Amino acid sequence: MEYQFCCKVRATDLWKMAMSATYRSLAGIVNVTFTVAAFCAAFRFWNGAGSFARGLLVFGCVFFPLIQPLAILGRCAKLLEDGPKAVELLVNDDGIRVTAGEKREQLTWNRIRNAIRRRDSIIIFSDDVHGYVLTNQVLGDQKEDFFRYLKGKLLSFRSDCDMMKKQEKY
């Protein structure tokens, strides 16, 4: 079986992943708590506050819901400036061949760390930090079949590695 995808990752795709990760963590709980507290403080102290205090109250109210997401979007856009505009992935029984501009790399199945299916994408990790994002737009109707194939290959390789490790012990 063979799958081929041409990925054009946009800043908004990375932004969605970053925001999702933030709001699923302890930092997200702190963000929400701080924002609610800022709105409560603004409501309580607005009438008696001077212009400087009102400015601080407004800043506290808009920091996490508005300023932080815009800053993260800007960082995602800057991150994509230096990278290739499109990445082509060819996934087959040998592994994943990645083509980005003039550069090519062959990732065998033993170099693939994990694959995660999300509501809006599939992420293939080549190590603990780096990976390839395949959005639903890129995957189309093949998303579920492709993910089953990918997980099957990863599980098959891991079970083969486990068998070899067990054989080495004896």
Strand bridging mode 95-100 / 87-92: antiparallel
**Cα 155 from Cα 114, distance rounded (Å):** 10
**Cα 137 from Cα 134, distance rounded (Å):** 8
- Domain-wise residue ranges, the chain: 3-9+85-169, 11-81
Q: Which two tokens stand for residue 138?
A: 């890129």
- CATH code of 3-9+85-169, in short, is 2.30.29
pLDDT one-digit tens code per residue, 16-70: 888 988 888 999 999 999 999 999 999 999 999 999 999 999 999 999 999 999 9
CA angle, 72 as apex, 32 and 143 as ends, to 5°?
95
CB 98 within 8 Å of CB 104: yes
**Cα 36 from Cα 127, distance rounded (Å):** 37
Banded pLDDT at 170 (limits 50, 70, 90): very low
One DSSP character per residue, 61-82 reads: HHIIIIIHHHHHHHHHHHHHHS
Banded pLDDT at 161 (limits 50, 70, 90): low
pLDDT one-digit tens code per residue, 93-139: 999 999 988 889 999 998 899 899 988 889 999 888 888 889 999 99
- Provide the whole-model pTM: 0.71
Banded pLDDT at 169 (limits 50, 70, 90): very low
For the CA atoms of 120, 121, 123, 124, the dihedral, rounded to the nearest 10 degrees, stands at 160
Q: Give yes or no for residue 81 having a pLDDT over 50.
A: yes
